[in-house]
Chains A and B, each alone.
Chain A
Amino acid sequence: MTCDEAEILLHALIDGELDAGHAREVEAHLATCAKCAAAARDYREMKKAVAQGGLRYTAPPELRRRIEASLPQTAAPTRRALLKGFAMGSAVSAMAATGLFAVILRSDDEARLQTEFVSAHLRSLQANHLTDVVSTDQHTVKPWFNGRIDIAPPVVDLGSQGFALIGGRLDYIDGRPVGSVIYGRRQHVINLFVAQGAGTEPRAAKMETVQGFNIRRWSDRGLAYWAVSDLSKEELANFGEKFEAATRAAG
């Protein structure tokens, strides 16, 4: 396990949310990495302090009284409740409204979207989450996406250029299904996420770093790409260039 993975997973360990297998892996990492072990020790102390810290608030009595008073006492709706009913005016459930807000708030937020790709990448690294279809053959991986998502992610063979095809996976980013084509280089994994682009204009590649992972994003022929990996920027850029060249050559 690398420090990048442990940085995230040690919290799940502290919170008791990790399964036994991963808990052992994180603990093994903490046993050998002083930096992560120090962090875990501080986080446990912080957690204890927060739990004991009297950080909760008590609702003011006046607020409690107001809320009690606003709840209907009889079968007849209060004027206020009626007005509220008209004002909000729809039968959509509160939970559906939650989803709507989420879409509005997140759609224009590139930074948060990138975090979601990194999260998806991290999830994929957990045991048995990496691939839905395992194949080193592009002619197996490509048709697998048919009918699963409404785009056809290009799958090219870059094995001779040092990037081995591992397989494909269906993932969800921002509540939408997204295809991921998985490549490997040495022991490193590259998740290449492919989604419908915002337009057909090609967009030149941009490299960013989020939580220690590098993300190379670009658009081409109506598709948007995010390659996420713990590979160095140079190697990930190299991967992106080879992938773009190969898809162009394939027509």
Chain B
Amino acid sequence: MPVKIVDNDPEQTRRFRELALPHLDDVYTLARYLLRDAADADDAVQECYLRALKHFHTYQGPSIKPWLFAILRNVCHAEYARRASAPSTGADELPEDAERTPIWHETQETPEAAMVKQHDAGTVRRLIAGLAEPFRETFVLREIQNLSYREIADVAAVPVGTVMSRLARARAMLRSAWLAEQEPKK
């Protein structure tokens, strides 16, 4: 297959700037949640934009956000692979029992309003960061990036049914963690 070098058509580059740059904060937000590290997120986002420009001729619309996210996700998985081969802790490995975590946490007799108030953004971010990777990704794409199930399925390259079950599991795990947070500390 012939190697295709970015031809830097000025018109293409101009269009890319107009379409892709306004989503920089979205892409950066996703990178922060996927990689859980500010410096790694910087590098991944920059790499994502370089790749996106290079492959811009393959972009067909309609919405550029999921397309950018799919590229970012590739970059992040390369980063996971690098981390996994590095002799550090495998913090991103899916725990063996993640799929078997009990989905139900019996509700406490606590008003939901109180439950919400007690949780500032920092707490919620920490709870989200505690989810295993596939669940965290699905949850962030849905709740923070507002993608539809179909768009999430395309970004994550899985069937919509998988998106549904991952989202259900992610929310169930968050709900358990959320309710546990508000139990009085000893």
Contact = CB atoms under 8 A, between A and B. Distances in A.
A53 B124 contact: yes
A187 to B, nearest CB: 21
A39 B169 CA distance: 12
B103 A119 contact: no
Contacts of A99: 157
Contacts of B6: 72, 77, 81-82, 84-85
B24 A70 contact: no
A111 B158 CA distance: 14
| Residue of B5, B7, B128 with most chain A CB atoms under a 10 A cut-off | B5
Interface string A93-109: 11101110110010001
Q: Which secondary structure dominates chain B's binding surface? A: helix
A31 interface: no
A194 to B, nearest CB: 18
Interface residues of B, number: 81
Interface stretch (A8-16, A162-170, A199-207): A8-16
A91 B2 contact: yes
B19 interface: no
A248 interface: no
Q: Which of the four size classes fits the interface of chain A? A: 35 or more
A4 to B, nearest CB: 9
Nearest to B32: A57
A139 interface: no
Contacts of A115: 99, 162, 165-166
A115 B162 CA distance: 7
B55 interface: yes
A148 interface: no
Contacts of B58: 93-95
Nearest to B57: A93
Contacts of B25: 56-59
Nearest to A97: B74
Interface in A22-75: 35, 38-39, 41-43, 45-51, 53-60, 63-64, 66-68, 70-72, 74-75
Given A45-B115, A94-B71, A8 B165 contact: yes
B50 interface: yes
Given A42-B112, A46-B175, A112-B134, A71 B49 contact: yes
Contacts of B26: 56
Interface string B146-178: 001100000011111110111111011011001
Given A17-B148, A74-B10, A84-B54, A48 B165 contact: no
Nearest to B161: A119
A12 B165 contact: no
Interface string B115-130: 1100111001100100
13 contacts: A43-B171, A45-B116, A46-B174, A49-B119, A67-B45, A81-B8, A86-B5, A102-B158, A116-B159, A120-B161, A123-B160, A211-B103, A212-B103
Interface of B: 1-10, 13, 16-17, 21, 24-29, 32, 42, 45-46, 49-55, 58, 67, 70-71, 73-74, 77, 94, 96, 98-100, 103-104, 107, 112-113, 115-116, 119-121, 124-125, 128, 134, 142-144, 148-149, 156-162, 164-169, 171-172, 174-175, 178-179
Closest 5 CB pairs of A and B: A119-B161, A102-B157, A93-B58, A59-B28, A94-B55
